[in-house]
């Protein structure tokens, strides 16, 4: 029993050290996951002397951690991101992984003189990008890039692990069974359909069941995150038990659950982030402890050569071939090629040859480990300068914002958003809150004051506002943006400018908006002034069918001098704005032009 407390002390201590070193990682610009991996190496048998030589336990812990990471990755992926990037990302996650495996297999065959089956297995082990590394750099690492490119990378990194795992298992079975190439093709076709099909099916069904479970069962509040994560791990295990892809099931279940109305979704997501960080730290520490750096020097040159082939040849060529049908510009293609970071998934897969008893399994593990280090050092440390060089970095749309969203009981349409007023924000420089925002309370120097009695807001005030969820990003701009939103801001003022003297009948005819419930002879300006009590305020919105009419400008007399139309909105009281084909074409041309400029 004496070993229990030292073991707990060492494990918890390593996690604490990993968390504390994250501060240093942010300051130096180093990939945080590389730091976690380095701590595991330093604590191992060639460092502080901690001996850990149990690949089965490492694979078990790593698999559970990866299931948690993939579920959370899917949970945070919005449907609009999938729609924006589904085609190229899915091709990269399947065909791209297969091409990378083939190209690396050829290189490994000639550089390491490996038999073809072993060479292709090595290629499969390192063929997928790492979801943890890519999501961290894109969502947490402060690199804000073109939305379309970002979406492709996020969806690809979240969905390509199942293909790499599938190829790894197929090549291991090929080596162990000694089947012919023809038998391999049959095995590949049947296993691919079964694993991917079953994983996809269980992921969709399981995601819906998780949502129903959370929304219908009256559990204690603290039990919901446990129920959701346990359900995700159960899906992962069930799919794997039945011969399907458990990792695909976990990722798809996360997408389904994250895009449906879920009780306490905001709080659930915050708590899942903590579990995901713990899973990432644990996985990298375990994999670092399992490695033996003293065995690296003899394989350093071949591993470095293969790493450079991966970064400079295999990944770029596979990406270029996969994105060719989608007519991506060369800058986007180059950046997607460069952000092919390898990470814990590749090292985790490299344990499988040892677990399966393949001769020379340690060779695969050591080579893959060093290739991951090369990828994190070369690619992870240079993502920002490469993005800037290619002109893909998007300036921040808003400055720092301090906001807390509270979900209210009873499933109302509104949320309570709490903002801290900061220096130089538009609300301090005269921008008024739109009418659809409902401020209820101001907390100033520890005292609660009704908003109507608070007078001018001052820095440090906390403002409590009831707002519908889809308008929260618009309020962010007023409380955080270093500039008052201009008319070029389509999210705040709508995509299409409208002259207030135009009649509603013309608006309905051109853009296909339903006008059955309004007087079509009214002008747009008169209709806005009629629907808004008191003087209109810039930014005010009036629901118009499934669209929003927005006040862009008012004169000194409180009359609307310019209006805007927000289309393609959901959750504003309809199923989306229906435009005739020429209206859609005009609107989409404008939107695509804006996307290209971002």
Task: Provide long-range contacts, Cβ within 8 A and 24+ apart, for 505-510.
Answer: 507/565, 510/580, 510/583
pLDDT in tens, 113-134: 899 989 999 999 999 998 777 7
Taking the CA atoms of 577, 582, 587 and 591 in sequence, report the sign of the dihedral they define: positive
Of residues 390 and 481, more confidence is placed in: 390
Are 439 and 535 contained in the same domain?
Answer: no
Half-sphere exposure of 377 (CA within 13 A, CB side): 11
Of residues 329 and 231, more confidence is placed in: 231
Look at residue 539 and tell me if it is in a domain.
Answer: yes
Distance CA 164, CA 187 (A): 15
Of residues 134 and 90, more confidence is placed in: 90
- The pLDDT of residue 27: 65
Distance CA 320, CA 329 (A): 10
Task: Report the DSSP beta bridge partners of residue 404.
Answer: 418
Distance CA 511, CA 584 (A): 8
Q: Which residues have CB under 8 Å from 10's CB, separation 6+?
A: 43, 50
**Is the pLDDT at 460 greater than 70, yes or no?**
yes
Q: Is 448 helix (H, G, I), strand (E, B) or coil?
A: strand
Of residues 313 and 414, more confidence is placed in: 313
- The pLDDT of residue 140: 56
pLDDT in tens, 234-288: 999 999 999 888 888 999 999 999 888 877 776 777 778 888 888 888 888 898 8
Look at residue 248 and tell me if it is in a domain.
Answer: yes
- Give the mean model confidence (pLDDT) for residues 84-90: 84
- Give the mean model confidence (pLDDT) for residues 15-30: 73
Are 125 and 223 contained in the same domain?
Answer: yes
Please name which of 64, 498, 56 lies closest in space to residue 276, comparing C-alpha atoms: 64
Of residues 391 and 462, more confidence is placed in: 462
- The pLDDT of residue 578: 41
- The pLDDT of residue 587: 47
Please report, for the domain that includes residue 457, its CATH number.
3.30.70.1450
Segment among 84-88, 124-128, 199-203 with least mean pLDDT: 84-88
**Is the pLDDT at 512 greater than 60, yes or no?**
yes
Total H helices, total E strands in the chain: 25, 9
Residue 572's pLDDT band (cuts 50, 70, 90): very low
Look at residue 340 and tell me if it is in a domain.
Answer: yes
Are 315 and 270 contained in the same domain?
Answer: yes
CB 552 within 8 A of CB 544: no
- Give the mean model confidence (pLDDT) for residues 36-59: 85
Q: Is 409 helix (H, G, I), strand (E, B) or coil?
A: coil
Mean of per-residue pLDDT scores for the chain = 80
**Is the pLDDT at 138 greater than 80, yes or no?**
no
H or E, element range at 419: strand 415-420
Both tokens of 190, joined, read 């049947």
Domain boundary among 336, 364, 389: 389
Which of 70-74, 133-137, 145-149, 537-541 has the highest mean predicted lDDT (pLDDT)?
70-74
* Residue 438 φ/ψ, nearest 5 degrees: -120, 85
Q: What is the largest CA-CA distance in the chain?
A: 86
Q: How far is CA 590 from CA 80, 241, 396, 496, 597, in A?
A: 18, 49, 21, 9, 11
- The pLDDT of residue 481: 57
- The pLDDT of residue 180: 64
Length of the chain, in residues: 598
- The pLDDT of residue 121: 93
Residue 309's pLDDT band (cuts 50, 70, 90): very high
Of residues 473 and 289, more confidence is placed in: 289
Q: Is 352 helix (H, G, I), strand (E, B) or coil?
A: helix
Which of 108-112, 423-427, 529-533 has the highest mean predicted lDDT (pLDDT)?
108-112
Domain boundary among 480, 502, 522: 480
Tokens 């390192």 — which residue? 126
376-406 CB burial, b ≥16 within 10 A, e <16: beebbeebbebbeebebbeeeebbebeeeee
Segment among 139-153, 277-291, 541-555 with least mean pLDDT: 139-153
Q: Is 221 helix (H, G, I), strand (E, B) or coil?
A: coil
Per cent of the chain over pLDDT 70 is 81
Are 142 and 213 contained in the same domain?
Answer: yes
- The pLDDT of residue 586: 45
Q: Which residues have CB under 8 Å from 546's CB, separation 6+?
A: 513, 514, 569, 572, 573, 574, 575, 576, 577, 578
- The pLDDT of residue 181: 63
Distance CA 168, CA 354 (A): 13
Of residues 234 and 173, more confidence is placed in: 234
Q: What angle do CA 508, 570, 419 make, to 5 degrees?
A: 120
Range of the domain at 424: 403-480
Of residues 412 and 164, more confidence is placed in: 164
**Is the pLDDT at 296 greater than 80, yes or no?**
yes
Tokens 């609660």 — which residue? 448
Per cent of the chain over pLDDT 90 is 21
Look at residue 487 and tell me if it is in a domain.
Answer: no
Of residues 308 and 486, more confidence is placed in: 308
**Is the pLDDT at 201 greater than 90, yes or no?**
yes
Displacement of CA 186 from its chain's centroid (Å): 35
CB 116 within 8 A of CB 105: yes
- Give the mean model confidence (pLDDT) for residues 58-67: 90
Q: Tell if the pTM clears 0.75, that is, is over it.
A: no
**Is the pLDDT at 326 greater than 90, yes or no?**
no
Residue 577's pLDDT band (cuts 50, 70, 90): very low
Are 523 and 561 contained in the same domain?
Answer: yes
Are 90 and 172 contained in the same domain?
Answer: yes
**Is the pLDDT at 581 greater than 50, yes or no?**
no
Look at residue 452 and tell me if it is in a domain.
Answer: yes
Look at residue 397 and tell me if it is in a domain.
Answer: no
- Give the mean model confidence (pLDDT) for residues 457-471: 82
- Give the mean model confidence (pLDDT) for residues 167-174: 88
Order of strands, edge to edge, in the sheet holding 560-566?
496-498, 560-566, 547-554, 541-544
Are 383 and 410 contained in the same domain?
Answer: no
Are 385 and 408 contained in the same domain?
Answer: no
* Residue 371 φ/ψ, nearest 5 degrees: -65, -35
Residue 566's pLDDT band (cuts 50, 70, 90): confident
Span between the terminal Cα atoms of the chain, in Å: 60
Please name which of 203, 205, 245, 253 lies closest in space to residue 94, comparing C-alpha atoms: 245
- The pLDDT of residue 490: 65
Are 455 and 367 contained in the same domain?
Answer: no
Residue 85's pLDDT band (cuts 50, 70, 90): confident
Residue 534's pLDDT band (cuts 50, 70, 90): low
Please report, for the domain that includes residue 173, its CATH number.
1.20.1530.20
Look at residue 395 and tell me if it is in a domain.
Answer: no
Please name which of 408, 549, 387, 539 lies closest in space to residue 468, comparing C-alpha atoms: 408
pLDDT in tens, 477-510: 788 755 555 555 666 677 778 888 888 888 777 7
Domain boundary among 367, 389, 411: 389
**Is the pLDDT at 93 greater than 50, yes or no?**
yes
User: How many domains is the chain built from?
Assistant: 3
Are 427 and 525 contained in the same domain?
Answer: no
- The pLDDT of residue 588: 46
Look at residue 383 and tell me if it is in a domain.
Answer: yes
Are 509 and 468 contained in the same domain?
Answer: no
Other beta carbons within 10 angstroms of residue 23's beta carbon come to 9
Of residues 121 and 587, more confidence is placed in: 121
Q: Is 416 helix (H, G, I), strand (E, B) or coil?
A: strand
- The pLDDT of residue 556: 64
Residue 139's pLDDT band (cuts 50, 70, 90): low
């Amino acid at each position: 029993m004496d070993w229990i407390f030292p073991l707990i002390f060492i494990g918890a201590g390593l996690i604490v050290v990993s968390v504390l070193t994250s501060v240093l990682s942010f300051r130096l610009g180093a990939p945080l996951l590389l730091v976690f991996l380095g701590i595991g190496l330093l604590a191992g048998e060639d460092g502080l002397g901690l001996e850990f030589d149990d690949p089965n336990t490492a694979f078990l812990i790593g698999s559970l951690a990866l299931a948690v990471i993939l579920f959370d990755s899917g949970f945070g992926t919005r449907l609009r991101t999938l729609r924006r990037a589904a085609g190229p990302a899915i091709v990269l996650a399947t065909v791209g992984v297969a091409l990378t495996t083939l190209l690396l297999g050829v290189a490994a065959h000639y550089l390491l003189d490996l038999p073809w089956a072993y060479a292709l297995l090595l290629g499969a082990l390192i063929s997928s990008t790492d979801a943890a590394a890519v999501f961290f750099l894109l969502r947490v690492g402060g690199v804000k890039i073109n939305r379309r490119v970002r979406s492709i990378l996020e969806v690809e990194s979240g969905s390509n692990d199942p293909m790499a795992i599938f190829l790894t298992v197929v090549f291991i079975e090929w080596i162990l069974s000694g089947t012919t190439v023809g038998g391999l093709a049959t095995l590949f076709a049947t296993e691919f359909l079964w694993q991917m099909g079953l994983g996809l099916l269980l992921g969709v069904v399981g995601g819906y069941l998780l949502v129903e479970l959370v929304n219908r069962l009256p559990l204690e509040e603290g039990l919901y995150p446990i129920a959701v994560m346990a359900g995700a791990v159960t899906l992962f295990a069930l799919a794997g038990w039945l011969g399907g892809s458990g990792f695909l099931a976990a990722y798809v279940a996360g997408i389904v659950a994250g895009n449906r109305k879920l009780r306490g979704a905001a709080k659930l997501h915050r708590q899942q982030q903590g579990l995901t960080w713990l899973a990432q730290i644990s996985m990298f520490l375990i994999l670092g402890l399992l490695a033996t750096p003293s065995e690296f020097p003899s394989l350093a040159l071949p591993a470095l050569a293969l790493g450079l082939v991966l970064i400079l040849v295999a990944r770029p060529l596979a990406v270029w071939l996969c994105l060719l049908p989608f007519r991506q510009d060369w800058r986007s293609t180059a950046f997607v090629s460069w952000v092919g970071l390898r990470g814990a998934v590749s090292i985790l897969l490299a344990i499988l040859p040892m677990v399966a008893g393949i001769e020379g399994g340690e060779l695969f593990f050591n080579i893959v480990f060093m290739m991951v280090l090369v990828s994190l050092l070369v690619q992870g440390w240079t993502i920002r300068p490469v993005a800037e060089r290619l002109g893909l970095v998007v300036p921040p749309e808003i400055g720092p914002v301090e906001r807390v969203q509270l979900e209210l009981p009873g499933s109302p349409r509104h949320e309570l958003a709490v903002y801290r007023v900061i220096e130089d924000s538009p609300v301090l420089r005269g921008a008024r809150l739109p009418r659809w925002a409902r401020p209820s309370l101001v907390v100033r120097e520890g005292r609660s004051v009704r908003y109507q009695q608070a007078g001018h807001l001052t820095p440090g005030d906390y403002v409590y506002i009831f707002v519908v969820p889809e308008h929260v990003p618009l309020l962010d701009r007023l409380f955080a943006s270093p500039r008052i939103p201009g008319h070029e801001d389509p999210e705040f003022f709508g995509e299409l400018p409208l002259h207030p003297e135009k009649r509603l009948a013309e608006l309905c005819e051109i853009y296909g908006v339903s006008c059955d419930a309004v007087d079509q002879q009214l002008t747009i300006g008169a209709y806005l002034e009629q629907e808004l009590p008191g003087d209109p305020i810039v930014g005010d919105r009036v629901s118009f069918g499934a669209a929003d009419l927005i006040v862009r400008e008012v004169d000194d007399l409180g009359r609307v001098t310019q209006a805007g139309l927000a289309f393609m909105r959901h959750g504003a009281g309809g199923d989306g704005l229906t435009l005739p084909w020429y209206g859609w074409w005009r609107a989409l041309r404008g939107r695509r032009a804006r996307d290209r400029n971002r």
